Structure 1
Amino acid sequence: MVGGGVIGCLSALCLLEKGFAVRLIERRRTGQEASWAGGGIVSPLYPWRYSQPVSALADWSQGFYPQLGEALAQATGIDPEVSPCGLLWLDHAEQEDALLWAAEHKKPLGPVDNAFIYQQVPHLAQGFQQALWQPQVANVRNPRLMTALRTRLLQHSNFSLLEDTPVTGLLLSSGKVQGVRAGSQTYQADSVVLAAGAWSGDWLAELGLGLPVKPVKGQMILYKTAPGWLPSMVLFDGRYAIPRRDGHVLFGSTLEHAGFDKHTTLEALESLKASAIALLPALADQQPVAQWAGLRPGSPEGVPFIGPVPGYDGLWLNTGHYRNGLVLAPASCRLLADLMSGAPAIIDPRPYAPAGRVELAV
């Protein structure tokens, strides 16, 4: 397994549960890239905008997250804090499309008036007239999720972890992948899974393959309030606020095409602060306690690549989840494990297959 984010770690756990032995190799520390930096909303921001392949993964994952959180907490003592606090989309222009999508997918999403809005989130700025509300939409505290996953993996006797170990190439013999090279070391394997997030496209380019996965930077800020100060998640004009159980409130995010640059900027800080204060005016009385940036693995229409790479027997992909890696991870990783083990797939795997979507680079 190449890549130690949520996709790599959860893929490893799913494969271990199917009887595989797994070695996970991470170029830095496990869970320190996009999986740590994301907000952790267990829903696409605008689910009605996405195609059926993304919806199918999201539906399965949303149903599975509560038991995943409970299982990890029981096994490791680390609670990922899967919190079903609900989500308000405020004064949204796409209400008709959203309600049609909700009816089609049997989602409990519906319109609410301003009385409901301010009863649900009293600290909101005045002036909002209507919203879309979906109760029970959860958020997961992703740094705790990653710590729990790492701890759970290390409890398995058939698992080994190599951190601070950049993979530099594949071991190939007669068109079959037989492992990886990391510096001067080689590691044999029957199969190699590439789950390297935003770096996956560059990694496959070295093989002469064109994988349309590119880094897309997102910056976020963090406030500290009293527990319960923000009861539910709110989203307005592309920006969102996410409450944690201990009173921290995340606010994000930017969408920047800046290559692999992960530096935070003053411009983003001021923009995010202005949006946060416009939505929750009481935040004007305090400064953010943190700002950070992460790199999303951007892909066409946000549909991930899950399955074997054509022309390279033994090489598999689970990457390209764009803004929804944490949302889609449980289904994506279970689907990969089903395909690799020959088990019946939880959902139709064809939309995610790399065949026909990964081409020889010109």
Structure 2
Amino acid sequence: MRQAIVVGGGVMGCLSALELLQRGWQVTLLEAGETGREASWAAGGLVTPLYPWHYCTAISALANWSQRAYPQLAASLAEATGIDPELTACGLMWLDAEERDLALDWAQRNERDLQALEQPELYSRVAQLAPGFSGALWQADLANLRNPRMMQALRARLRQFAGFELQEHCPVSSLLVEQGRCVGVRSGPQTFTADAVVLAAGAWSAGLLQPLGVELPVEPVKGQMLLYKMPPGWLECMVMYDGRYAIPRRDGHIVVGSTLEYSGFDKTTDDQALATLKTAAERMLPALAGIEPVMQWAGLRPGSPDGVPWIGELPQVQGLWLNCGHFRNGLVLAPASCHLLAALMDGQPAELDAAPYNPATRGIGSAA
């Protein structure tokens, strides 16, 4: 039986592991901290790029496939584990979208049900909006999921497989390479060996490759978030204005985000971001002005130059597979990315074209 080591316990690592297990592999997952507690926990949970008309075909292909896959994935996880990821197709409203014509043209070309709303209709849909918005773009079928619960469900599902081993608080210190092939990893005094190693360590992926002389342009990009609590059903859909969003959960919590900060591996929160996000929340939903956020947090996205991930075998090192660099769209792109990776590792035809993500042809240099 083929054996794989997956480095990283976020959504990419966990879904990669699940895909491989379902194909008959044995999988050991190594996570430096706790499973699902980094970027996958910190994200807002949108199952769409923030402005999908901005993205290239490579990202759109992964997003479209994932959006189709998520309902079955969420339902199967809930059934198998009893933990509901709370995938909710509540729709998304872009307020006063300056790129209305561009967005509508994109929607027509890609057969997406994006509509333009004028002022009376947008307030009839979302009465809580601040006055003064002149119009909006609306897509009714877009969803969000409660990503911390998604990660809890994935962890529980993985542990149901006899061929799965989870090692938490087990940071990988180095990759083991013999005669040009990755044969395992080291974590402190421990050595783990396998037929293949999957690097899905998010913002930490590049650091593990540097000792091999491989320069992967992935860096941490901090995003700070706020959480409010309102009665269930108070906000029925997601709203976005000027790059900020408000996402309702089923129990009335509302997630507001997000900042975009290049500050290394620093995950501290600060008052400036708090003020900026509160202002954005109150500009969209003025009733939040009288309510203190119940939580502020930050996560580190795996930033990459164009947001297109690397998915496939590293050409410099056989047996070392990448699934990283998804930037702001990790949760959005995860089902497609992990399905594609597993198909490539299994030597089977994939439903997606692998070429746009191939590490052999995309922007990986040699470390000086």
TM-score where L is the length of structure 2: 0.98
Q: How does 1:1-362 map to 2 (within 5 A)?
A: 1-356=6-361, 357-362=363-368
Is the 1:50–1:301 contact (alpha carbons within 8 Å) kept by the matching residues of 2?
no
Give the deviation of 1:39 after TM superposition: 0.2
- AA matched with 1:360: S
Aligned-partner Cα distance in 2 for 1:216–1:281: 29
Aligned-partner Cα distance in 2 for 1:342–1:95: 43
Give the deviation of 1:285 after TM superposition: 1.2
Aligned-partner Cα distance in 2 for 1:126–1:337: 49
Aligned length: 362
Identity %: 60
Is the 2:304–2:326 contact (alpha carbons within 8 Å) kept by the matching residues of 1?
yes
Aligned-partner Cα distance in 1 for 2:18–2:100: 39
* 1:142-161 deviation digits (Å, cap 9, x = unpaired): 00000000000000000000
* 1:52-91 deviation digits (Å, cap 9, x = unpaired): 0000000000001011010000000000000000000111
Which ranges of 4 or more aligned residues in structure 1 deviate by more than 4 Å? none
- AA matched with 2:127: P
Is the 2:95–2:136 contact (alpha carbons within 8 Å) kept by the matching residues of 1?
yes
Q: Which sections of structure 1, spanning at least 5 residues, go unmatched? A: none
Aligned-partner Cα distance in 1 for 2:326–2:175: 23
Judge which range, 171-180 or 7-16, deviates more: 171-180
- AA matched with 2:48: S
Secondary structure class of the residue paired with 1:338: helix
Give the deviation of 1:32 after TM superposition: 0.4
Aligned-partner Cα distance in 2 for 1:203–1:46: 32
TM-score where L is the length of structure 1: 0.99
Give the deviation of 1:231 after TM superposition: 0.5
